[in-house]
Structure 1
Amino acid sequence: MQSRPAPKDEPAEAYAAALRLLARREHSGVELRRKLHQRGFTEASIGPSLEQLCAAGYLSDARFAGSLVRHRAAQGYGDLRLRAELAQHGIDHAIVEQALEALDADWCERALAQARRHFGEPPATAGARARVLRHLAQRGFASSVARAALAEWCKSEQ
């Protein structure tokens, strides 16, 4: 049985650990706090460290949200998936909306591109159309957007 290490109560150590994590990739404040807790730091050392990182501009939920939105949208995910993922990272609703607005995406066009990339050719049967709609829904596109993209795809191939 493993014993738990003694809690780390040194803000400078927490700051250094957080900085190492941020050097690898952007993190949300909630995610960074969780990771520091997992590494044995106490809240008394984490709080001041995160405040210092924010003040220095190294930690930004807005920058994290923008980065995640651009990356996931490029992977073919829809706005519903992006909103849910950002909420899991503890990002404020207003910041989520700003990040999505800054992306300035045509979600119907992105859904159409995702369907074409995944399926190759437009669906010929009702069952195939249902598979396309399910796929787009699983990728986080709203059903109205998925239906519009499917209609556009079928219309453009006729």
Structure 2
Amino acid sequence: MTVVLEDLVSVRRTAMDLLARREHGRVELARKLRQRGACPEMIDTALDRLTEEGLLSESRYLESYIAYRAGSGYGPLRIREELNQRGLPRGDVEQALRECGFNWQERLEETWRRKYSGQLPHDVKERARQGRFLAHRGYSLEMIGRLLSGREFDD
């Protein structure tokens, strides 16, 4: 069932309903409004007004998204790529990742402990398997190598 958004009030109301559920980026919100039948001019007008009123904020969206994905065990490389695919400016994404305050090495260790119960790999095949999992999650090879070689635990 597709609802066609024919006037500015309905476009704004729909945008606010979407924002009430969770933060959205401007590109993502515009896409959802287009899918619901709103014309581009009304979308731009409504989103500009929501931004002016502080109801739509890219920085809040970035902060929320990074916290959610990091809490799910994903690393900075994966989060960066996902945000870039969502149409957010690369500079804003980089700044948000720098300012998020997460210790990515600790997040890596937590993700690894949750998945592998803190068991260091006993052979090359197991090390490769664990490394692939952590790389897919978005952690750098340097961080993974340090963790899997046991150097992380020397502190």
Per the normalisation by structure 1, the TM-score is: 0.89
Shift of 1:88: 1.7
Distance 2:144 2:66 in 1: 19
Gap runs ≥5 in structure 2: none
* Cα distance per residue 1:2-39 (max 9 Å; x no partner): 9x87x644112111110000001100000000000000
Shift of 1:90: 1.3
Report if aligned partners of 1:69, 1:82 keep a CA contact under 8 Å in 2. Answer: yes
2:100 maps to 1:100: no
| Correspondence for 1:49 | 46
Distance 1:41 1:73 in 2: 34
Distance 1:72 1:140 in 2: 11
Where do residues 72-151 of structure 1 align in structure 2 (5 Å cutoff)? Answer: 72-120=69-117, 121-151=119-149
* Cα distance per residue 1:79-126 (max 9 Å; x no partner): 011101111221111211222122222322221221111011221111
Per the normalisation by structure 2, the TM-score is: 0.90
Residue identity matched to 2:143:
V
Query: Cα RMSD over matched residues?
Result: 2.0
Residue identity matched to 2:103:
D
How many residue pairs end up in the alignment? Answer: 153
Shift of 1:56: 0.6
Shift of 1:152: 3.0
Aligned-pair identity in percent equals 37
